[in-house]
Structures are given as structure tokens and as C-alpha cells.
Amino acid sequence: MSDLRVVIADDHHVFRMGLRRLLDSVPGVTVVAEAADAPGVVAAVLDHDPDVAVIDLHMPGGGGVEATDELRRRGARARVLVLTMHSDHAMVRQAIRSGARGYLLKDAEPDEIIRAVRAVHADQAIFDSAVADRMLAAISEAGASNPFPQLTEREYDVLARMAAGQSNQAIAARLGISVKTVQNHVSNVLLKLGVADRAQAVARARDAGVRRPG
């Protein structure tokens, strides 16, 4: 089995060096490139085709959200793990919308970082506990305006696009994910809404006033 290949991006050299040493010490994990800014990490990911990109949010040249957006537009297969100092909900939402699969704070323990890298590689969503608490609080506050709070943000987006008449293929193309991933989201939506098929989910969404996504 080949090694899990990682690109790391952070504008603080000392932190980046420590992160590289940590990941390179893990059997089966190899850091193939580093970057200190947003254009650099985009170039590194496109050049080296890693499995995971560990990206800070605040870097010169646009930042981690912009870099993640660009990687998605360019069709990079790397899963993005955000590793940052910032835990506010708005930044988490921006990172997720740009395509990040995980969001971890820099004060995480070394084993947490390693576990997060592996989880993101396995296409699992993973969040720092402090970040998750903030997200849950925000969801609770927004509950009155969200008719289906049991859905994740991505599942809600998929449901809205279903209600707008988009096919799985169209949703996948618009969100920059695979058709298989869309199918998984649709299955989760049906399960969480307690409906038998796509048509019933669409009917529920339209009855609840779910709006067409922007």
C-alpha cells in the first residue's frame, strides 16, 4: 500500500517545520511539499497530487479559503484539512463551503492532527470539539429559520438543489464533488427526513419553503 501523501501550507516557518516533522514521523504518511502562501499551496497540490492538503486560513496571496476554492475549481483530488487558530462560525462556514473536509485548531494534540489527516483522507468530515460546539450553537440559534435542522449544511444544500429540479450529476458538477458523494448525501437526507424516495423529499422541501440555492 502506498503512503498517504500530504502537502502542508502555513506562512509560519517554525510551525510548518514542526508539522512536517510530526507527519513524517508517522509510518505510512509522507509530506511531499510545503507552501507558505495561497498560490504556493495551489501550485504544490497541482504539481504533486497529494491525498490531503493541510492548509492554514490566513496566508499571503489570498488565504486558505481562496486556495481551497481554487483547488476545487481546478479539479484537485486532495482532501483539504484546515488547521488554523480561528474557531468563529463564519470562518468555519466559509471553509466548508469552499470544500474543506475538516477543521482543526492549532492547539490540537499531535495525535488529533494525525487522526484528522487520516479521517479526511477517508472522506470523513472532522471538526475540532470547540468548532463543533460553536456550529451546534449557531444551528440552534438559526433553528427557527431552518425547517430541517437535522440536516448538515451540505445535506441541506443538496436537498435545496433537488427541490430546484437538479439531477445528481448537475449537483455534483455545481458543488465540485463526485456523483457517488451526492448519492450518499441524498440517502442521508431521505433517512433523516423519514421519507421513502426522492420525490417525497422534494415535496417536503417545497412544502417547507426551501429556497433554490444561489
Q: Which three cell numbers stand for residue 172?
A: 455534483
**Ramachandran region, residue 60 (left: φ > 0; alpha: ψ -120 to 50; beta: rest):** beta
Q: Give the pLDDT confidence score for residue 126 in this predicted structure.
A: 80
- Which parts of the chain have pLDDT scores under 70? 1, 130-146, 211-214
The span from the CA of 123 to the CA of 195, in Å, is 26
- Identify whether the C-beta of residue 55 lies closer than 8 Å to the C-beta of residue 29: no
Q: Give the pLDDT confidence score for residue 121 in this predicted structure.
A: 92
Q: Give the pLDDT confidence score for residue 26 in this predicted structure.
A: 95
Q: Going from the N-terminus, what domains does the chain have, and what CATH number goes with each?
A: 4-140 (3.40.50.2300), 143-207 (1.10.10.10)
Task: Give the Å distances, CA to CA, from 194 to 164, 184, 191.
Answer: 20, 15, 5
| Strand runs labelled E in the chain | 4-9, 29-35, 52-55, 79-84, 102-105, 126-127
Q: Give the pLDDT confidence score for residue 212 in this predicted structure.
A: 57
- Identify whether the C-beta of residue 157 lies closer than 8 Å to the C-beta of residue 175: yes
pTM: 0.65
End-to-end CA distance of the chain: 42
The span from the CA of 56 to the CA of 37, in Å, is 9
Strand partners, 71: none
Sorted by sequence, the CB contacts under 8 Å of residue 165 that are 6+ apart come out as none
Q: Give the pLDDT confidence score for residue 29 in this predicted structure.
A: 95
Q: Give the pLDDT confidence score for residue 144 in this predicted structure.
A: 45
